[in-house]
Structure 1
Amino acid sequence: MSMKLTPGKLAGLKSVSTPKGVIAAAAMDQRGSLKKSLAKEKGVADLPDEALIEFKELVTDVLTQHASAILLDPEFGLPASKKRHGKGLLLAYEKTGYDAALPGRLPDLLDVWSVRRLKEAGADCIKILLYYTPYEKTAINDHKHAWVERIGDECRAHDIPFFLETVGYAVHGEDEKGLEYAKRKPDVVTGSMEEFGKERYGVDVLKVEVPIQMEFVEGTKAFKGTKAYTRAEALEHFRTSASSTHKPFIYLSAGVSNPVFIETLELAAESGTSFNGVLCGRATWKDGIAVYAKQGAKAFEEWLLSTGVENINNVNKALEAAHSWHDKVDVNG
């Protein structure tokens, strides 16, 4: 079944993809968490915004030479968007983090931005992050469903692709890095993909977590000794989540190390899923945070040119197994 894309959505998707229709995008829209990490490595309480802006510029300048697009935020990332070597631009539309005082990790949009304004700022695509689990209370998920519908309609009105990133979380009191949540994760990911693949939301590309936690997959290099799934079961979880939607979908790196992300993509390839690329952030540049904080911009740039480029090329190699989203949409409009 192929989706029909409007001309603007088709053009937007093409601009963030390789000519073959694979999304090989770098992600650099971290804000609050990145600021905290940089300050911690530097041993200070807070950093000026200029540091965040410079960090994003350096990452963008070096890594977009090896990526099909870059994801940035309009708060600190617009100067970096000028250094993207003609590659596609996705802009984030949500506020960073969530209000921990309220239940349900409810999302919020940036105050002085709209899809119209993001498009005027040069966005080829709009990206939203939503914390979501099918196990959450109905009232909370209803709130989230309506919120995504609104954004979907705004993107339809401006004929620009809508990337929805869903990140699961625990509502049963489990440790999100622990065994019990790892066992539940396949259902969280599959349920999220199933829900937001529905036409009413107007999502063009689902940016999803892999449906397993690598360190709990027996027989992988990432395995740490406690088993949630056999390798065969892990492969089956990939297939089940992939078959829950007809939409193009890409994997996020979720902050794991480069070797673990590469092995994850190898597992996805082995499972035969029709994933259409990645939006990969921390798995390429995370280890450079300490370099920038302790040694400054020049040292960080050198680190990016060697290790950063090596990391993204590892990802690109793993992406040889990705499928073209052209197979899922009517490319001839």
Structure 2
Amino acid sequence: MKISPGKLWGLRRLADDNGRFKMLAMDQTGPIVNPIKEKRGLDQAPYTDIAAVKAMLARQLVRHASAVLLDPPFGYAAAINDIPARTGLVVGSEWAVWEVTETGRKSRNVPGWDAGVIRRIGGDAVKINLWFRSDVSADVRSHQIDYLDSVRKACEANDIALVLEFLVYPFPGESADVFAERRVALVLEALADSDVMNPAGVDLYKLEPPVAVHNVPDPDGPEGAAVQAAFDRVARGILRPWVLLSGGANPDDFQRLLTYAYRSGANGYLAGRAIWADAFSHFPDMKAMEEGLAQSDIMERLNALTDRLAAPWNAHKCWAGVVEMSPSGRDFVAAYGGDNLSTCNIY
């Protein structure tokens, strides 16, 4: 299968040298902002606190990652100086600016942020979080699909890789218990939706586990077969490389979830809370938090599992054995630069 030069380079940058994704997420909204507000007793989390946390995550953890996911409002400026130049960079174009309605959430870009801006600041990929569930109103569904299409086109115009994450979510007034009971069914319904899973313009999927993320059965135990079947069913419909998110799982549960995902063909992980939530629980004791991050071996364990079981992204079935950059060869400059270069005497 053919892939454009910028998207190919972006995927290579996000993966390690063997083509496996070991990506650290530190773009989170609620999991970082809400605990800070609660512990400070404030209606809004201070920028200095959020920036200090994200800088610390970068300082302590990014060296273990093939790539890092940052948000525009807080993460990029706070953390970029602590990210090694070799590390791939994924930047979200949306962050806590979605519209909440009674019949569903509508995703939006951060004002002024799009694929072109992310390309200019050195991003290797654009990530969007598409809030999605099958029982939204028709206008919400239409908005979400139109939003996804607009981002696809912008990434193609700027030849930058697109990482598509979708997350299910509770409606206003829907209790946490009711949503928890429905979450897995909502994930499976979204994964079966042809508009969301349309691979056109998508280079990498970031997916929720299709099972409960707590008390995950041993992949080699008697209950493992049913969980593996759920992952296998999902994997059959994924027509691009994909990675698993942690979804609030603890480190041990996430390792089990990753094992199932890798046995189904996943190409790595893009995770945050499973990696740093325990250390972050010490906030505002920044010294204790930094010590917890420095002593953690979670990423080393995830990386070892990934090296052992994950398939390289260029081995995904969508490539049919060949990853071919296009345009390429003698006509690359004219084809990629535009027709105005086709008559230049440069050879």
Give your verdict on TM over 0.5: yes
Q: Tell me the CA shift for residue 61 of structure 1.
A: 1.8
User: Any conservation in 2 of the 1:169–1:176 contact (CA below 8 Å)?
Assistant: no
Per the alignment, residue 206 of structure 1 pairs with 205
The correspondence for 2:275, drawn from 268, 284, 296, is 284
Instruction: Provide the C-alpha distance between the structure 2 equivalents of 1:92 and 1:52, rounded to a whole number of angstroms.
Output: 17
Task: Give the 3 Å change call, closer, same or farther, for CA 177–161 of structure 1 in structure 2.
Answer: farther
Per the alignment, residue 325 of structure 1 pairs with 313
Per the alignment, residue 105 of structure 1 pairs with 105
Instruction: Provide the C-alpha distance between the structure 2 equivalents of 1:57 and 1:148, rounded to a whole number of angstroms.
Output: 30
Identity between Structure 1 and Structure 2 (%): 26
User: Any conservation in 2 of the 1:189–1:241 contact (CA below 8 Å)?
Assistant: no
The correspondence for 2:261, drawn from 265, 268, 285, is 268
SS at match of 1:287: helix
- Relative to the length of structure 2, the TM-score reads 0.83
Task: Give the 3 Å change call, closer, same or farther, for CA 176–324 of structure 1 in structure 2.
Answer: farther
Per the alignment, residue 162 of structure 1 pairs with 162
Per the alignment, residue 64 of structure 2 pairs with 66
Q: How does 1:1-333 map to 2 (within 5 A)?
A: 3-79=1-77, 80-86=79-85, 87-96=87-96, 98-169=98-169, 175=176, 180-182=181-183, 184-185=185-186, 187-192=188-193, 194-200=194-200, 202-215=201-214, 219-220=217-218, 230-269=223-262, 272-293=263-284, 295-296=285-286, 298-307=287-296, 310-320=297-307, 321-328=309-316, 329=319, 330-333=322-325
Unaligned stretches of 5+ residues in structure 2: 326-347
Q: Which amino acid aligns with 1:104?
A: G
Structure (1 or 2) with the larger CA radius of gyration:
2
Q: Tell me the CA shift for residue 43 of structure 1.
A: 4.6
Unaligned stretches of 5+ residues in structure 1: 224-228
Q: Which amino acid aligns with 2:191?
A: T
Instruction: Provide the C-alpha distance between the structure 1 equivalents of 2:174 and 2:36, rounded to a whole number of angstroms.
Output: 30
Instruction: Provide the C-alpha distance between the structure 2 equivalents of 1:91 and 1:72, rounded to a whole number of angstroms.
Output: 5
Task: Give the 3 Å change call, closer, same or farther, for CA 145–182 of structure 1 in structure 2.
Answer: closer
- Relative to the length of structure 1, the TM-score reads 0.86
User: Any conservation in 2 of the 1:91–1:123 contact (CA below 8 Å)?
Assistant: yes
SS at match of 1:292: coil
Higher relative contact order (CA 8 A, sep 6+): 1
Task: Give the 3 Å change call, closer, same or farther, for CA 186–119 of structure 1 in structure 2.
Answer: closer
Instruction: Provide the C-alpha distance between the structure 2 equivalents of 1:24 and 1:312, rounded to a whole number of angstroms.
Output: 9
Alpha carbon RMSD of aligned pairs, Å? Answer: 2.6
